[in-house]
Amino acid sequence: MKKYTIQDSPFIFPTTDGKIIKEHFGLASNGSSQISIAHMKAPAGWSEPFQTPEFDEYTFIIKGKKQFIIEDEIVVLKAGQSIKIEKNTRVQYSNPFTEVCEYIAICLPAFSMDLVNREQE
């Protein structure tokens, strides 16, 4: 019995905002509710509404920059930096910069629309 899983066909989420989301492990890709790992590319000018997720989210920036508004504080990460945002923290993710931001997002437990608690825009 294999004790590993190689993921070479991630689930690609359909989006309408130009963001590319490839979930390698998680609810959509392999049914796991324990963790989600996704490779993302956010285009210049992209943003999401504020949310208060019921999961911890770790983000590692591969290329470009990403802006986080955490509670009332603005934090900008660049390539090579990472951040952990604890569950039940109000946050907004965006890329107000002129280049694509490429990053890895890990959520514990897995990302779910039922747990993200996005605010209406």
| pLDDT band of 22, cuts 50, 70, 90 | very high
Q: Read off the pTM.
A: 0.95
Per-residue DSSP letter, 72: T
Sheet containing strand 11-13, edge to edge, reads: 11-13, 20-25, 36-42, 101-108, 56-63, 82-85
Give the SS3 label for residue 21: strand
Taking the domains of the chain in order of start, what are their residue ranges? 17-116
So what's the pLDDT on residue 44? 98
Q: Class for domain 17-116, per CATH?
A: mainly beta
- In this predicted structure, the answer to whether residue 33 has a pLDDT above a threshold of 90 is yes
So what's the pLDDT on residue 15? 95
CA angle 17-95-69, nearest 5°? 115
Spatial distance between the Cα atoms of 42 and 54, rounded to a whole number of angstroms? 22
Phi and psi torsions of 104, nearest 5°: -110, 135
CA proximity to 104, closest of 80, 71, 73:
80
| pLDDT band of 113, cuts 50, 70, 90 | very high
